[in-house]
Amino acid sequence: MSQAERALQNQNSPPQVAKPDPALVAEVSQLAGQLFGNDSKKRARFSDRLLDIYSGAQGKDFLLIHNPGGWGCTSLEHLLKWERSVVEGVSATIGQLGYSWLLTQYFRSGRSRWAHIRNLREEARFFFNGTSSEAKALATELEFITRHLKTVQVILLGASQGAAFSNTVLRQPGGLPRVYSIELGIFFPHLSRRIITERTLAIDGNGIMPDPMVHRNLKIGLKVYITAPFRWLKFRLVGKPQKFTYCVNAPGHDYNWEYPEVHRRIIDFLETNFGTNSKAEVDVS
């Protein structure tokens, strides 16, 4: 097992904590009502997630939130290898700096085809206008977490559409103290809206070749999406079916942790902003 994989298991597992105070539960319920009105399923999902994160993040130094690319619904074990390598690399680096952490993912869409169809309007609004009700929901979660857990630092981590989503979260009104963002390969429609602060690391190239999805290379982009269905069909015909997203391969639009430019910049960002934990024994091997 690699060091990154061991880090993902987070050896400092969350301690058993008491149930949240009833006042906190009531506050979360009120926030859910403000966001989702009479939609009881969404209210319950929001409340359960936020209370779980609140409980798990108690006593931790960091809360890492990965926003998947694409439709925003891919679980960690099914991510493209390069995207997972970045999540593992960031997690391992936080551990090597001597900090404890909790890793979670924020899914802005369901996984089924029907869920994608229902979400088309939201995705189109996000793509063309940069507005997202899901971004508002995550910003509400982060405001609650940072207000009630005074010592927890938050890092948003996203690539492509996930990077754009992270940036959209940070642009929500009110400001989010102690929330940082690592954004890789943001999709070009979002570039004009992107805001970069001292708490944002934006990486627009992997150091190996230009990213066509960042630099609006429509020729390559169209070719990738036009040929993806044929690659998907080919895999199925030879008995090795693949997820469609695995068949969308744009050279340059990958940010593997092994690329020097990728891990160097991320490690520098983390070390500059947080340094090493003087209260912990740090593994520098």
Query: Would you list the domain boundaries of the chain?
Result: 3-214+253-274, 216-252
Secondary structure letter of residue 161 according to DSSP: H
Q: Does domain 3-214+253-274 have CATH number 3.90.1170.50?
A: no
**How far apart (Å, rounded) are the C-alpha atoms in residues 169 and 185?**
17
How many CA atoms are closer than 13 Å to the CA of 254, on its beta-carbon side?
17
pLDDT value at residue 226: 64
pLDDT value at residue 229: 65
Are 156 and 182 in contact by the 8 Å Cβ rule? The answer is yes
pLDDT value at residue 69: 86
pLDDT string in tens for the chain (285-residue length): 554 455 455 444 444 455 678 999 999 999 999 999 999 999 999 999 999 999 999 999 999 999 998 878 889 998 989 999 999 999 999 999 999 999 999 998 766 666 667 767 777 777 777 788 899 999 999 999 999 999 999 999 999 999 999 999 999 887 798 999 999 999 888 999 999 999 999 999 999 999 988 887 666 556 655 665 656 566 667 776 666 565 566 778 899 999 999 999 999 999 999 999 877 665 544
pLDDT value at residue 193: 93
Are 66 and 162 in contact by the 8 Å Cβ rule? The answer is yes
pLDDT value at residue 248: 61
pLDDT value at residue 35: 95
pLDDT value at residue 105: 97
Secondary structure letter of residue 179 according to DSSP: E
Are 224 and 250 in contact by the 8 Å Cβ rule? The answer is yes
pLDDT value at residue 243: 62
pLDDT value at residue 174: 76
pLDDT value at residue 112: 62
Q: Which residues contact 169 (CB under 8 A, 6 or more apart)?
A: 67, 135, 138, 139, 142, 156, 176, 181
pLDDT value at residue 73: 82
Please give the sequence-ordered ranges of beta strands (E in DSSP) within 146-277, or none if there are none. Answer: 153-159, 179-184, 200-203
pLDDT value at residue 14: 46
**How far apart (Å, rounded) are the C-alpha atoms in residues 243 and 104?**
22
